[in-house]
Chains A and B, each alone.
Chain A
Amino acid sequence: MNALRQHRRLDRIWASAPGFRGWFSTVNHTDLGRMFLVTAFTFFLIGGLLAMLIRAQLATPDSAFAGPEIYNQIFTMHGTIMMFLFAIPTFEGMAIYLLPKMLGTRDLAFPRLTAYGFWCYVFGGTMLLVSLLFGIAPDGGWFMYPPLTGPIYSPGINTDFWLIGITFVEISAIAAAVELTVSILKYRAPGMSLDKMPIFAWYALVTALMILTGFPPLILGSVLLEVERAFGLPFFQADLGGDSLLWQHLFWLFGHPEVYIIFLPAAGVISTILPVMCRTTLLGYGWIVASAVALAFLSFGLWVHHMFTTGIPHMGLAFFSAASTLVAVPTGVQVFAWIGTMWKGRPELRLPMLHLLGFFITFVIGGLTGVMVAVVPFDWQVHDTAFVTAHLHYVLFGGFVFPILAAIYYWLPHMSGRKRFFRLGGIAFALIFVGFHVTFLAMHWVGLLGQRRRISTYEVEDGWTLINFISSIGGFITAIGIAIVIIDVIIQVFAATRGERNPWRAGTLEWAMMTPPPSYNFATLPHVTSREPLAEDPGLATRLARGEGYLPAPEEDWRETLTVEPATGRPDFHVIYPANTHLPIVMAAVTGTFFLSLLLKVYWFTPFALAGVALLALRWVWVLGRREDLPPRAIGRGLEVPTAAAVDRPPGWWGSLFLLIANATFFGSLIFGYAFLWTVAPGWPPPALLAPSLVELAIGLGGAALGTVAARLATRANRKGGAPLPALAGAGLGAAMVAGACIAFLLRAPPPAEHAYSATLFILGGYGLFHAGLALLMLGFVSAQTVRGYTSPGRRAVFPIVSLWLDYLALTGAAILLAAHLPGMLG
């Protein structure tokens, strides 16, 4: 087949529906990546607009522009939008767009999940915007400390918008993180072993794993606070055995890693672009990977430095202060590796490079002030002043916005297939750079003079007038710069002349295709032998388009790709993707009604929404089934691999594994909360403990064991061609026994609104019950598939997945029952 016919054939298979209607049914990563990015930048503009309002308010003393009630909403929403609706989704969008191309494959692991995550993000974000429009937006500051945000001091709906809307949006973060992790580990071009992965993929992998372990504590905190607000379960009320410090721990367990979740993708961008701008290769690839991993680990040990003023014991302060300074070491390694890269090559001052220089200057200053605030006595002075706000913007703007601007200018030719037209970029950079530093140098200064953060006004006597005025001017200059960037981008996308294919002469695979990229990325998949395949073989793109790689000439109208063994990059199995569908957007909308019913307190509707989600989820997996075995596929180069249905570790198994890692972090945080309240909160031990019952415990633990064992037996029976149904029924009995044991103690426990102890038991029991129900649903699904002839030894992939979930149920179920019954036995 020649290149053009190959292109037509593939495009017909992969293209989304034409026009804007295609947006609602597309599952293609290129489309969704672009949609993510456009939405995220829209939120950036809204957040930026709010920043301008803040600076307008603070420009003059005794400002009458907005009263504190409105001002509090403005700064809370500014921080919330920037962190949750701009920074994280920008990473997701960038990774979704770029990764399959860089990794030499055709799409991400779970295309429909990408779309589902996107729509959850759009709907959740819209909820927050609606609250802003109606002037009932969250107003507790972006970290929402209770009791200020609790039912007593914030009775309005404002806080609920935050807790529910952000949790809705977090679904998209978790979905994207699962998706990216599995994609990076499994969905690469043959031959691309881990050490040949482009550096951006490493950073994205570390970031995704951090999202999986960093976000669950926040989700748990939001659930607990919302339950407290809606039903009076006193997790954060000191007089009923709760403790507001629990929120701070949960929030910063998320919040500190969050900073690195934002920084690492930006560092990935720098490590990718900088060597190209310097016509060389990255210095110390292995060291950089190691320091990214080290940063990830260290960042989970640092959360307490946000709580230095809460009366943490002295030893704790010393430890966390030391750890907080230690985290600067891997950051230092990366920065010096980048400077070394510049020395190794010949840096050229092109536009992306300008923004990288902006990054260096700004981020190094932010890092240095960060090390200063890690010194406890200094933090005691500047904590909660404008100094901290300024530091935070040096890190976030320097460490994220500048690299993203570099990325925009670097990859825009890839997205648009065009060259820059006017030379607006340089002016924009100058304005942004100068404006930013004026704004926030001034804020450092006024913070040292004692201006607190989050005040809506100050007085002439404070003597801060001039500095604040200068700072506001700087803010507006920055805004003008950003506006010029937008104009520049719009011109390039819609009006500029066509550009050449690989304008920067980069070596990574995303440039080995037409620009703008075709829907299927690569007509055939490359065999990768080095880190920069295009540098070794400039003709690669043409050869792939002519059909000289893997998976030439599609036989059926399938969207297909290959997976590899994670470490070695040897071809593993063959995957057939689902095609365009409205299922994701419908499912996201139904998920939205679940959250809306909680927000508007129409609780009778909640079960219906949940049932709707469950039904759609069943349909989601059901349509993947087949009634006949597929033979192994010949993939070219004389190789043959099995299809995904015939392996023991299918994509769904990998996806479940990482989802369960996030889930386990959620559960672990819950257990941490329980232990924390027990040991630190005032008002413990509780007035009455649950009376332990050996019978219930035995039934529950027995059910847990039965569930895992029977699920394994079912897997084995099916693989050997036997009848899996009896074993599946046994597993169902096991799950039902766990559920029964949970219900039993829930019924006997003291009323949940009485004390944080019984409230926690309530959540633990609910968690166990939910997972037992989930297991039953899955077992029912597999049984139905078996009865209808959808399973066979050659179509066995669902069994290990269900088995994994039953293992998880067994572990958490046992932990829950022990946590409920043991205290009564010991005490």
Chain B
Amino acid sequence: MLAGATAIFAMVAILITLAFRRGRRAEGKDEARSVRVWILGLGLGFSMTILAALLGFGLFIGERLLPRGGEEVVTVGAEGRQWAWTFRYEGRAPTEDVLHIPAGRPVDVAVTTTDVIHSFWIPRLAGKLDAIPGHTNILRIEADSPGTFAGLSAEYSGPGYDSFSFSVVAHGPAEWDAFLAGQTE
């Protein structure tokens, strides 16, 4: 995407520079031809082609990121408030500000809030999704291997917003079972 954008920018810059060439004869009278080249060709034709390509790419990627059902999916709850997160699990006590997930399995996070709007974001695992009063939003994440990831709340929520973060611990299968059994905090 960046390369494409740079190329387009370079093209525009070159076209503008060329307009200043010294000794160039102004294109002058042939207005109809200019309209064909600049407006129909570049303005309409070129813009539409690029955008269509980009859009297709975006939809394709977006489709891949979509949550899909499956046996393996683990569901956890993430409930935001000013300025902490409570994470809930099936059959285990909730945790504060640390989200535990199994590695290598898709996890659906049900994002909610008890006060104002927050946004749930683990930059390395997925895009962000808002926690909105009265609504539950589902975010699909998946960690390929065990480890710890940084998480942020990414919607401005008042004075405590600066340091409003959490972390995510992805466990291997054995550790995950131990966690569910309540042996790790």
- The residues of A with any CB-CB pair to B shorter than 8 Å are 67-69, 72, 140-141, 145, 147-148, 152-153, 237-239, 243-245, 278, 280, 283-284, 287, 291, 309-311, 314, 317-318, 321-322, 325-326, 328-329, 332-337, 339-340, 342-347, 349, 357, 360-361, 364-365, 368-369, 371-372, 374-381, 383-385, 450, 452-458, 681-683
Contact = CB atoms under 8 A, between A and B. Distances in A.
A145 B154 CA distance: 14
Contacts of A314: 62, 66
Nearest to A453: B156
A378 B5 CA distance: 14
B58 A452 contact: no
Nearest to A147: B116
Contact of B51 (A278, A329, A455): A329
B117 A148 contact: yes
Interface stretch (B99-107, B130-138, B169-177): B130-138
Contact of B27 (A68, A332, A343): A343
B112 to A, nearest CB: 10
Interface residues of B, number: 63
Contact of B159 (A72, A309, A384): A72
Given A283-B34, A284-B39, A337-B43, A153 B16 contact: no
B161 A347 contact: no
Contact of B154 (A153, A287, A328, A385): A385
B162 to A, nearest CB: 5
Interface in B9-34: 9, 12-13, 15-16, 18-20, 26-28, 31, 34
A455 B158 CA distance: 10
Contact of B116 (A148, A364, A377): A148
A60 to B, nearest CB: 15
A349 B38 contact: no
Nearest to B157: A148
B178 interface: no
Contacts of A284: 34-35, 38-39
B65 interface: yes
Contact of A68 (B115, B129, B162): B162
A344 B5 contact: no
Given A147-B115, A325-B51, A325-B55, 16 more contacts: A68-B161, A145-B155, A147-B116, A238-B135, A283-B39, A309-B155, A329-B51, A333-B39, A336-B43, A337-B43, A343-B18, A343-B38, A344-B27, A381-B128, A384-B156, A681-B134
B117 A145 contact: yes
Contacts of B117: 145, 147-148, 244
A335 B46 CA distance: 12
21 contacts: A141-B156, A147-B133, A148-B157, A153-B158, A244-B132, A291-B43, A311-B129, A311-B132, A321-B55, A332-B44, A333-B47, A335-B12, A335-B43, A342-B19, A343-B38, A344-B34, A360-B12, A364-B8, A380-B65, A457-B162, A682-B135
Nearest to B66: A314
A361 B35 contact: no
A450 B123 contact: yes
A238 B128 contact: no
A450 B46 CA distance: 33
B51 A72 contact: no
B181 interface: no
Interface string B122-146: 0100111110111101100000000
Nearest to A242: B134
Contacts of B59: 318, 321
| Most chain B CB inside 10 Å of its own CB: which residue of A237, A245, A284, A377 | A377
**Among A238, A340, A376: residue with most chain B CB under 10 A:** A340
Contact of B132 (A239, A310, A344): A310
Contacts, number: 213
Interface string B54-72: 1101110110011000000
B58 A329 contact: no
Nearest to A76: B156
B37 interface: yes
Nearest to A241: B134
B39 A455 contact: no
B42 A455 contact: no
B43 to A, nearest CB: 4
| Residue among A141, A322, A347, A452 with most chain B CB within 10 A | A452
Contact of B62 (A153, A245, A377): A377
Contacts of A321: 55, 58-59, 62
Nearest to B138: A311
Contacts of B43: 287, 291, 329, 332-337
A365 B9 contact: yes
A378 B1 CA distance: 10
A309 B119 contact: yes
B161 A455 contact: yes
Interface of B: 1, 5, 8-9, 12-13, 15-16, 18-20, 26-28, 31, 34-35, 37-39, 42-44, 46-48, 51, 54-55, 57-59, 61-62, 65-66, 82, 115-117, 119, 123, 126-130, 132-135, 137-138, 152, 154-162
Interface SS of A by simple majority: helix
Given A310-B132, A311-B130, A457-B162, A368 B34 contact: no
A343 B19 contact: yes
Nearest to A240: B134
Contacts of B18: 343
A72 B8 CA distance: 37
Nearest to B38: A340
Contacts of B161: 68, 454-455
A335 B62 CA distance: 30
Contacts of A244: 117, 132-134
B134 A239 contact: yes
Given A377-B62, A452-B154, A309 B129 contact: yes
Contacts of B162: 68, 455-458
A243 B135 CA distance: 9
Contact of B39 (A239, A245, A322, A340): A340
B51 A377 contact: no
Contacts of B115: 147, 152-153
A663 B82 CA distance: 38
A10 B106 CA distance: 80
A372 B5 contact: yes
Contacts of A325: 51, 54-55
Given A147-B115, A336-B42, A455-B162, A309 B9 contact: no
Contacts of B54: 325, 371, 375
A375 B57 contact: yes
Contact of B46 (A332, A374, A381, A454): A332
B31 A283 contact: yes
A456 B18 CA distance: 45
A58 B115 CA distance: 28
Nearest to A450: B123
B19 A245 contact: no
A309 B130 contact: yes
B170 to A, nearest CB: 19
Contacts of B8: 364, 368
B154 A364 contact: no
Q: Which of A147, A309, A454, A682 has the most CB of B within 10 A?
A: A309
A349 B19 CA distance: 11
B19 A339 contact: yes
Interface centre among B19, B34, B54 (most CB of A within 10 A): B19
Q: Which 10 pairs show the lowest CB-CB distances between chains A and B?
A: A380-B127, A238-B134, A340-B38, A332-B47, A333-B43, A311-B137, A375-B58, A342-B19, A682-B134, A336-B43
B79 to A, nearest CB: 14
